[in-house]
């Protein structure tokens, strides 16, 4: 073992030394040369290089958390593209929502969440001084339970949550057994299905879905084949423009029974939050002021999301929106 190891390490260290020598000789492929010809290199670096290379040092290297849903991708990509045009070096990291990402922010591997639905789960990290709230991103979220539009037409009263028991048989399948199947949001999403079922004495069984994509597939199939489906969804989400869904509204319960009181009667409308590390906000980087000013509407987000879903890369879709909305982007930058 020793012999082999020594030999291998010898070779490797020899190479490393040689490599360092080459590095010391200076040169290398520098950024300006490569920006045009090297699309495969990190887009971050090439964009930075082509537009404002000199400012790179000013803005710095920052990490943006990426979450699973396409609306988030739209927001994060637009933010990234604009930041890179300011000379920032942005690394995107895909992570589960909330806790995991807050930990990543505390560890310093990620700096920004551009759209958080978490309803204050971050408080502990804010208290520790790792994270700061940066205000709303302009989007307003509304979560709910949805059925395909054809069901709302065929059974008009199904959109009233109180009537769901009447239709439970329609939603039975092999996963739910003798109850109706209630497709809940992915693990990281804010969900209160259990409470809704309990509060309204619904004869439904919660089926966990691993991802938002599973829900999209569920509703797509339900719309196409006219099969029943009851599942978790939310706005803003451009999917609703492609496959119309009807929201099932739950009654404001009479919480006279204190035991049943949960404080929630249905998902409320939520202004979506931007979060950032204290490190970023106190750095004086132009990225910090960009993030502070970043704000757009549900319609803006849906536009980019739709382009992404119809086959553009997120970078292309974001750039298309940026080019078409110079005034809004300029306002984010100018206000800083």
Partner 1 sequence: MSQAASEAGTASLLERAKGLLRRRGILIVLVLLAWIALGAVLKGVNTLALPTSENTPFTSVLREAAASIRGNRTESPAFVYFFNPIRAFVESFIELIRAVISLPSGDDIIPAVGWLGVVAIIGFVVFATSTWRTSLLAMGMLLLCGVLGMWTFTMDTLAMTLGAVVLSLAIGLPLGVWAGLSDRVLAFLRPGLDLAQILPTLVYLAPLALFFLIGTAAATIATMIYSIPIAIRITSHAIRSLNAGPIEAATSMGSTRWQLLTKVQLPMAKRTIALGVNQTMMAALSFVVIAALIGAPGLGKPVVEALIIRDVGDGVVAGLAVVFLAIMLDRATTAAVVRTGNFVHESGSARIRRRVGLGAAFTGAMVAVVLSRYELWAAVFPEQLIIGESVSSATSAAAEWITTNLYFLTTGFREVVTVGFLNPLESLLSNTPWYVTIIAISLIGALIGGRKAAAIALVLLGLIVLTGLWNDTMVTLAQVLIATVIVMLVGVVVGVLVGRSPRVERIMKPVLDAGQTLPAFVYLVPVLALFGPTRFAAIACGFFYAAPIVVRVVADGVRDVPSSMVEAATAAGSTKMQIITKVQLPASKRSLMLGANQGLIFVLAVVVIGGFVGAGGLGYLVIVGQSKPELQGKSLAAGLAILLLGVVLDRMAQAGAERRREQGSA
Task: Choose one: 74-82, 203-211, 265-273, 284-292; the region binding partner 1 (CB under 8 A).
Answer: 203-211
Strand partners, 208: 184
Among 209, 265, 298, 302, binds partner 1 (CB under 8 A): 209
Residue with smaller CB distance to partner 1, 93 or 163:
93
**Tokens matching residue 316:** 């292309």
What angle, 0 to 180 degrees and rounded to 10, lies between the N-to-C axes of helices 70-85 and 326-334? Answer: 60
Strand partners, 132: 276
Nearest Cα to Cα of residue 291 among 301, 303, 278: 278
Min separation Cβ 118 and partner 1, Å:
8
Task: Choose one: 136-144, 211-219, 247-255, 286-294; the region binding partner 1 (CB under 8 A).
Answer: 211-219
Residue with smaller CB distance to partner 1, 61 or 153:
61
Residue with smaller CB distance to partner 1, 164 or 181:
181
Burial of 317 from C-beta contacts in 10 A (0-12 / 13-18 / 19+): buried
Min separation Cβ 105 and partner 1, Å:
8
Among 156, 177, 268, 271, binds partner 1 (CB under 8 A): 177
Among 52, 55, 58, 68, binds partner 1 (CB under 8 A): 68
DSSP 8-state assignment for residue 249: B
Instruction: Please tell me whether residue 27 binds partner 1 under the rule CB under 8 A.
Output: yes
**Tokens matching residue 271:** 């202004």
Task: Choose one: 15-23, 142-150, 274-282, 296-304; the region binding partner 1 (CB under 8 A).
Answer: 15-23
Instruction: Please tell me whether residue 59 binds partner 1 under the rule CB under 8 A.
Output: no
Cis peptide bond upstream of 236, omega within 30: yes
Min separation Cβ 71 and partner 1, Å:
12
Q: Which residues contact 115 (CB under 8 A, 6 or more apart)?
A: 67, 71, 72, 75, 76, 137, 139, 272, 273, 274
* Contact pattern for partner 1 over residues 88 through 127, marking x by CB under 8 A: -----xxxxxxxxxxxx-xxxxx----------x--x---
Distance, in Å, from the CA atom of 71 to the CA atom of 237, rounded to the nearest integer, reads 6
Min separation Cβ 48 and partner 1, Å:
8
Instruction: Please tell me whether residue 174 binds partner 1 under the rule CB under 8 A.
Output: yes
Burial of 284 from C-beta contacts in 10 A (0-12 / 13-18 / 19+): exposed
């Amino acid at each position: 073992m020793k012999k082999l190891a020594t030999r291998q390490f010898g070779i490797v260290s020899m190479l490393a030394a040689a490599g360092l020598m080459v590095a010391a000789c200076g040169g290398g492929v520098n950024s300006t040369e490569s920006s045009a010809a090297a699309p495969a290199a990190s887009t971050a670096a090439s964009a930075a290089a082509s537009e404002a290379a000199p400012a790179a040092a000013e803005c710095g290297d920052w990490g943006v958390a990426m979450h699973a849903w396409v609306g988030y991708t739209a927001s994060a990509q637009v933010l990234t593209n604009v930041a890179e045009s300011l000379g920032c070096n942005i690394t995107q990291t895909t992570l589960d929502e909330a806790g995991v990402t807050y930990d990543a922010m505390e560890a310093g591997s990620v700096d920004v969440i551009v759209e958080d639905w978490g309803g204050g789960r971050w408080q502990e990290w804010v208290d520790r001084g790792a994270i700061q709230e940066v205000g709303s991103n302009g989007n307003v979220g509304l979560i709910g339970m949805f059925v395909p539009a054809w069901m709302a037409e065929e059974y008009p009263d199904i959109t009233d949550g109180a009537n769901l028991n009447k239709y439970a048989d329609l939603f039975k399948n092999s996963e739910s057994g003798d109850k109706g199947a209630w497709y809940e949001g992915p693990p990281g999403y804010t969900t209160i299905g259990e409470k809704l079922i309990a509060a309204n004495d619904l004869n439904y069984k919660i089926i966990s879905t691993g991802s938002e994509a599973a829900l999209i597939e569920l509703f797509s199939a339900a719309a196409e084949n006219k099969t029943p489906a009851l599942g978790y969804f939310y706005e803003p989400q451009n999917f609703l423009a492609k496959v119309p869904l009807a929201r099932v509204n739950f009654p404001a319960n009479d919480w006279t029974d204190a035991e049943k009181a949960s404080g929630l009667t249905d998902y409320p409308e939520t202004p979506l939050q931007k979060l950032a590390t204290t490190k970023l906000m106190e750095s004086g980087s132009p990225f910090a002021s960009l993030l502070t000013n970043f704000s757009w509407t549900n319609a803006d987000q849906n536009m980019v999301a739709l382009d992404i879903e119809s086959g553009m890369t997120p970078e292309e879709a974001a750039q298309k929106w940026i080019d078409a909305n110079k005034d809004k982007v300029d306002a984010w930058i100018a206000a800083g």
